[in-house]
Structure 1
Amino acid sequence: MKKVAVLFGGDSSEKEVSIYTGLAVVEAIKDEYKVEAINIESDYLSLHNKLLDVDIVFIALHGGFGEDGRLQKYLDKHNIKYTGSGSVASQTAMDKNKTKLIAKAHKIPVLNWTIINNSSEIDKIRLKFPLIIKPNDGGSTIGLYFCKDINDFKINIKKSLKDTSVQMVEEYVKAREISVPILDGQVLPIIEIFPKGFLYDYESKYKSDGSNYQIPAKIKDSLSRKLANDALTIYQNINCRHYARIDFLVAGDKHYFLEINTLPGLTSTSLLPKSAFKIGLSYRDLVVKIIELS
């Protein structure tokens, strides 16, 4: 029987989500494989000693070293197989600025944005209000701020820079939240998200009643094809593998790439399992498929 180590926890702001993902994965495959659950903190540099008899590592970490390529590089160094994208793709995908530049280079629409590294750059903003501030390397919409005017912006950018030193500032557009899951290079049913709150923030994502969903999304076939094609273009050009989720905004007939997530959540309220279920893949089947792809 194949032995699978499930890594979860970590030290990022998304630790709580990672624990939910990790425990759900362990529960799903405990009868299929020999499973070792490993809740790690910040030190992963001696991890290989615990993985000597492991066939594959299921990375259930979100954010931080678990998603930005550092852990993947470490596992590569020790010739340990793992789920999800490789180290270079993970590092690229974690950087929202880089991924937007890649999208723009392939003529995929993006909202106007800039990057701010310190408070001295605040007065250089040339974008139109309202604006959204978010960490350039964060996920789970943690640290998201809506700014209706310059006063809001000055207050919120100072708050955000205390949390992380590189912030993306993006023009806000009232639009539909759309997510495109990919599994093994194939687009799964597209999802529309209806957050209960003003923004699709952390609580909207992970509270059981935080959002409603439409799967497949009720959008024109022509727009669905564009979203699917653009999602695959980004996925392929970043050189992702196994699975990912690409998020867009849709306003009328226009769509805008937001970000790509190479280790999307796999909790009971997560989007990728909901989409996979629509094509007949149970949660267990989805997790097993990801492992077998690896």
Structure 2
Amino acid sequence: MCEDNQTMVTEFLLLGFQSNPNLKILLFILFLLIYIVILIGNLLIIVLVSISRRLNIPMYVFLKHLALADILFTTNIVPNMLHVIIREGGRMSIPGCMSQYYMHSFSIFAQSLLLTVMSFDRYLAICYPLRYSSIMDHKLCFHLIFWCWSIGFILIPSEIILLSQLQFCDSNIIDHFLCDFAPIINLSSSDSVIVIWEDFVFSILVIFLPFVFVIVSYVCIFIEILKISSTTGRQKTFSICSSHLATVCTYYGTLIAIYMVPPDGNSLNGNKWRSLLYTVLTPLINPIIYSMRNKEIKVSLHELICRKE
């Protein structure tokens, strides 16, 4: 409980990016354009995979759900971030803050697990090509996708309940563009040890261990690539895998740096800028590295355009 000389906080003030006022219009336009491109690119993937029979295979089904997770993730953050930028700050109620953090965590869990499943799919396709169809059938594909989305619903509510029980007194300023875990804990005047440890355990289970699984999968993939006799075949397969691995490393590396390091007041401002990497950069480049360079996606897009004409 807050002491008698303290005021209980009922809403938070998000500072966003306290930059030169002359730059706020530039930042607003930049992030608005990025958000529009993210929506168009990921919606295009969802539509193409949904209507094209040639894309009705596990790899593209996983890609469709990753695109959906990217849309949910950015839509939960970017519109309010644009409001905070243009108004040079924005207020958010505690329930609204908890709701945003819930969707934020849920989307991260889904993205992390979907990226892991996609690496597993590529591992089977490259290392066990003859058994791939019998292992990665539609039933297994459905179950993998189901659990990628369900684990967040199962785990996150307990953390939200603990966060909702925290008391916030006097200070309500969050030097960030979203309601994230570290800024919320930093403001709390209650004992937050339990929720910090719970968040750390969740980060291990849903971020760190999947990241290790992805790395191990790609080590096996690269070993298999080295066995390919054709130089052209090795280069083509390595190019596809290296692009995927680069994005995975950027995504997981940023999350690990932010969420698996104990909250420190001096690191919050740095975390805010690092958060932009996975908030806008990863959802922006995902459609490019996963599909726009892909022959099947290009053919399906061409067929869709010709059908409309």
Q: TM-score, normalised by structure 1?
A: 0.25
Decide which structure has greater helix share: 2
TM-score (norm: length of structure 2): 0.24
**Which structure shows the higher strand fraction?**
1
The structure whose RCO (Cα within 8 Å, separation 6+) is larger is 2
Q: Of the two, which has the highest radius of gyration?
A: 2
